[in-house]
Amino acid sequence: MTAPSIVRTSTAELYDAHVLKNYGRPPLTLVRGRGAQVWDDAGNAYLDFTSGIAVSALGHCHPHWVAAVQRQAAELIHVSNLFRNPQQGELARRIVGYAGPGRVFFCNSGAEANEALIKLARLHGVQKAGGVDGRCYKIICAKNAFHGRTFGGMSATPQEKIQKGFRPMVAGFSFGELNNLQSFADLIDADTAAIFVETIQGESGINPCTPEFLRGLRQLCDKHNLLLMLDEVQCGVGRTGKFYSYEYAGVIPDAIGMAKGLGGGFPIGAMWVRDRYAELFHPGNHGTTFGGTPLACAAALAVLDVIERDQLLEKVRTQSVPWHAALRQLAVDFPQHVVTVRGLGYLVGIQLTGDPMPVIAALRERGLLAPSAGGNVVRLLPPLNATPEELAKSVEIIRAVLTAKA
């Protein structure tokens, strides 16, 4: 077979011809980034409050992160989990330092972390049922949840747009109303193994669990011998001003799924399991080829270095206060367009009265990139090291778009 000839075509043409059409992309090709800014192939600059969907925790091409990845790439990239590597051990130690006594499993994405949580719940159910497989396996999730696009994740995600075309789903999931503790209590039976919720629902519109609700779930799990499993894939790793957003409620979960911002742009996911349940996994019943490679862990360690060195958790907490106030003022000034503003730290949703896509397109034209979320919501996800000036600029651009729309 002869090699294909090189044909000079645009990126848009290459996508049109060769990339699967499962995304509705805007006409924008990004080629370079630095900090909170990105540039397109025409040289236009944008303030990037998409952050790779909450992935680029340190913005683009942070010098410490780049140096760490370059150094590790020249030393050792991949060895598989047949062997130990120093970076994985150190990253596990540091995650345990944030989450509490327990153990960590590394994978490649939030979906994989959530699949591991679902398998943990099944293993706990077997133990709860006295070693009988398949009897105690039910997991209670929240309506409007999003836990990924694998079959386990889709089954825990009661959204038609996610499940349509892929049924039948995995059995054993039921759904209560977020922040309605009684609706969860009513679903518990002898076959229930776990409760599994996002601490802040991201894809469905930035809907936080109240502290009272999370504390109530903890009490239900203690009473009925259930695991409390928290999906912190989008809201974790400092995005709300705490390393994990559940910390605001003062609860201790039994397991946490995390990913996105942990690698700062390099794919990595992780599941932390509380000590008392860590022994449910044993050699052979779960694994991954690529999880926890030296390169992925070096990237994540660099993220933690900068978060700690630059005190980014404190900065997110303090700098988000005036930013949120300015965003909430938009609902006062433009009630015909803005319903409410909600969220924590640098995970914010602006709920609009109508379709958010024209507003998102107008923001892009004025130099601000922001994704949508469910329920007519424009989502704002600045990097954790965004400056007060960049936060203020985002409000200025949104205000200009809403003014032009008025």
Q: Which amino acid is at 278?
A: A
Q: How far apart are CA 242 and CA 87, in angstroms?
A: 24
Q: Which long-range contacts (CB under 8 A, 24 or more apart) does 164-171 make?
A: none
Q: How far is CA 85 from the centre of its chain?
A: 26
What is the secondary structure of 43-95 as a DSSP string?
A: S-EEEE-SHHHHT-TT-BS-HHHHHHHHHHHTT-----TTS--HHHHHHHHHH
Q: How far apart are CA 102 and CA 33, in angstroms?
A: 37
Summarize the chain as % helix, strand, coil (round to 5).
Answer: 40, 20, 40
CB 228 within 8 A of CB 194: yes
| Catalytic residue status for 151 | no
Residue 40's SS3 state is strand
Residues 6+ apart with CB under 8 A from 21: none
Looking at the chain, the number of H-run helices and the number of E-run strands are 14, 17
The active-site residue, picked from 128, 175, 213, 231, is 231
Q: Which amino acid is at 406?
A: A
What angle do helix axes 294-309 and 312-333 make, rounded to 10 degrees? 80
Detail the DSSP E strand segments found in 171-211. 173-176, 192-198, 200-201, 207-208
Give me 39's structure tokens: 């540039």
161: enclosing H helix or E strand: helix 160-163
| Catalytic residue status for 222 | no
The active-site residue, picked from 146, 213, 243, 334, is 146
Q: How far apart are CA 163 and CA 190, in angstroms?
A: 27
State residue 389 phi and psi, 5-degree precision. Answer: -65, -40
CB 145 within 8 A of CB 373: no
Query: What does the DSSP 8-state code read for residue 272?
Result: E
Q: Which amino acid is at 335?
A: P
CB 263 within 8 A of CB 55: yes
| Catalytic residue status for 260 | yes
The active-site residue, picked from 128, 138, 242, 260, is 260
Q: How far is CA 110 from the centre of its chain?
A: 7
Active-site annotation, residues: 146, 231, 260
